[in-house]
Amino acid sequence: MTTTPATLPKRDQSARLENWSRAFYRFRQSWLSVVGLAIVAALVFIALFAPFIVPHPEHVAGGTNTAARFIRPGAEYWFGTNALGQDVFSLVLVGSQVSLFSGLAVVFIAILVGGVIGAIAGYFGGWIDEILMRITDLLLTIPSLILAMAVAAALGTGVTNMIIAIAITWWPAYARLVRGEVIGKKEEQFITAAKALGAGWPRILGRHILPNIMSPIIVKASLDMGFAVLTVASLGFVGIGVKAPTPEWGTLLSVARADMPDYWWTAVFPGCAIFLAVLAFNLLGDGLRDVMDPKARR
């Protein structure tokens, strides 16, 4: 019975493939989540290639054309032009870069910091848990936008500082989520089995617990992406965040405020872009939640 075959069997992918196709089938069941996925894919494409496809790249770099101020949306300028004669369509398209990148960075940092703190608090418990979670609770008591404004004001404006400021207010939510999930999983028998095998805590946390709690984290992240885009725009709107001439949706909206309501297009199109991005990420998040619901898993 201890014969070793000369050739190893080929890695059987069928099971994994079947799970994926099953997941995709569940996802397609709701056309709204497919719409969300499509818009998100389009936004990512635009963000990546915007500088090469916009009709007026010179306006993005800060160039003005005062002869062509406030032209209505039409064939030449799809979204019209603003007070400086810049093409709003080009600005909105390129503005997606800052919004999406900042949103992604905020969520990424929040997961990283919150995940590590939550996992350690949940796994070790006791006084480590108490200390870490009281710090987390403390941050949760402060309204996030106000804290972000205070941090951004202290650090100075700029994309990086804005991302840090928002991330500081966001990680506690992930710390709580991850802590709860880790506490739920660490009493499972396969964790006891790993301990009995002699696995150390880094291996148990990284190899056994984390892969089993990814679903709720991914769902929360995709739902949060929308709110992150919104928060970035809000900070841009109140003037903390991206400096001109870099276009950003919140800043565009803020500048256009003075031209309302006569030149409505300068504000409506950046607003629509924010609306569309937030909606798309929420639809995608809802779809992912349906797919990853543990009870729906085979």
Partner 1 sequence: MLQINNVSKIFLGQRKGLFGHTEGFKALDDVSLRVAKGKSFGLVGESGSGKTTLTRCILRLETLTSGNILYEGADIGKLTPTEMRRLRARLQIVFQDPYASLDPRMTIHDIIAEPLVIHRDIVPMTARQRTERVLELLLQVGLREEHLFRYPHEFSGGQRQRIGIARALAAKPEFLILDEPTSALDVSVQADVLNLLHRLQEELGLTYFFISHDLGVIRYICDEVAVIYRGKLVESGPVEDIFERPTNEYTRMLLDAMPDPDPDRSPFRQAASA
Give the binding site for partner 1 (CB under 8 A): 1-5, 8-9, 11-13, 15, 188-190, 192-199, 203, 208, 211-212, 298
- For the bound state, the minimum distance from the C-beta of residue 218 to partner 1, rounded and expressed in Å, comes to 14
- For the bound state, the minimum distance from the C-beta of residue 211 to partner 1, rounded and expressed in Å, comes to 4
CB atoms < 10 A from the CB of 3, how many?
5
Q: Closer to partner 1 at the Cβ: 161 or 215? A: 215
- For the bound state, the minimum distance from the C-beta of residue 273 to partner 1, rounded and expressed in Å, comes to 38
Fill in the DSSP letter of residue 79.
T
Joined together, the tokens standing for residue 107 give 């969520």
- For the bound state, the minimum distance from the C-beta of residue 251 to partner 1, rounded and expressed in Å, comes to 43
Cis peptide before 143 (omega within 30 of 0): no
Q: Closer to partner 1 at the Cβ: 193 or 296? A: 193
Q: Closer to partner 1 at the Cβ: 213 or 277? A: 213
**DSSP conformation letters of 242-264:** PPTTS--HHHHHHHHGGGTTTTT
Q: Closer to partner 1 at the Cβ: 213 or 240? A: 213
CB 162, CB 234: distance < 8 Å: no
CB 132, CB 192: distance < 8 Å: no
CB 35, CB 284: distance < 8 Å: no
Adjacent-strand bridge partners of 87: 81
The pair phi, psi for residue 87, each rounded to 5°, is -75, 115
- For the bound state, the minimum distance from the C-beta of residue 115 to partner 1, rounded and expressed in Å, comes to 17
Tokens 């709003």 found at = 88
Q: How far apart are CA 55 and CA 66, in angstroms?
A: 17
3-state secondary structure at position 87: strand
At position 113, the amino acid (one-letter code) is V
Adjacent-strand bridge partners of 81: 87
- For the bound state, the minimum distance from the C-beta of residue 220 to partner 1, rounded and expressed in Å, comes to 19
CB 166, CB 106: distance < 8 Å: yes
- For the bound state, the minimum distance from the C-beta of residue 24 to partner 1, rounded and expressed in Å, comes to 18
Q: Closer to partner 1 at the Cβ: 56 or 208? A: 208
Q: Closer to partner 1 at the Cβ: 18 or 76? A: 18
Q: Closer to partner 1 at the Cβ: 104 or 199? A: 199
